[in-house]
Structure 1
Amino acid sequence: MAALDNDKSRTDILNRLKRAEGQLRGIQRMIEEGDGCLAIATQMAAVRKALDSTYVRMTVCFMEQQLQAKLGTDAQDKAAMSEMFEEIETLLGKIR
């Protein structure tokens, strides 16, 4: 399977994962400090949502990259394709 070639997309995905990592560390700290289960569950739900949206972002980037490689689109087509993939990403983000 191909890797993500777009540096901007790769950086975006890595930044999202780093934020989720920070949230996970925060949850660990909350547990160590004896915070309430409801507060911890809320943070866990936020991390799950962050990971889900990162997965969708990575999948859309991969699809866009593969289609552009196969179709060899010009600049105007790339712009239209990017817009279409933004809409796809928005739709996929609403699944959960």
Structure 2
Amino acid sequence: MAVLQHEKSRTDLLNRLKRAEGQLRGIQRMIEGGETAFDIAGQMSAVRKALDSTYVRMTVCVMEQELAGKVNDNARGRKQLAEVMDEVQSLLSKVR
């Protein structure tokens, strides 16, 4: 299985996970504070979406990294790959 090689991709994913972690801590405080189930459910939904988005981003980063090694090493090929990967990410985000 591929390992994320680009520092920028790893940093982006870690930042997304840290935000989700903060949201989870907020949910814990909401439960401890006796907030309504409706409000807690809304925050849980937001965390799930954040994790789903992070998963999609990770998948696209891995695909882009692996395909980039197979594409001709020229500016046009890299630009086309970036465009396709943007479209893939948009399509995958609709699945959720």
How far apart, CA to CA, are the structure 2 residues paired with 1:79 and 1:29? Answer: 45
> What does 1:1-96 align with in structure 2 at a 5 Å threshold?
1-96=1-96
Unpaired runs of at least 5, structure 2: none
Q: Report the CA distance between 1:74 and its aligned residue.
A: 1.6
TM, length-normalised to structure 1: 0.94
Aligned residues: 96
**Which runs of structure 1 show a deviation greater than 2 angstroms over 4 or more consecutive aligned residues?**
70-73
TM, length-normalised to structure 2: 0.94
Q: Report the CA distance between 1:72 and its aligned residue.
A: 4.3
Partner letter of residue 15 of structure 1?
N
Q: Report the CA distance between 1:30 and its aligned residue.
A: 0.3
CA RMSD of aligned residues (A): 1.0
How far apart, CA to CA, are the structure 2 residues paired with 1:54 and 1:11? Answer: 12
Give secondary structure in 2 for the equivalent of 1:70: coil
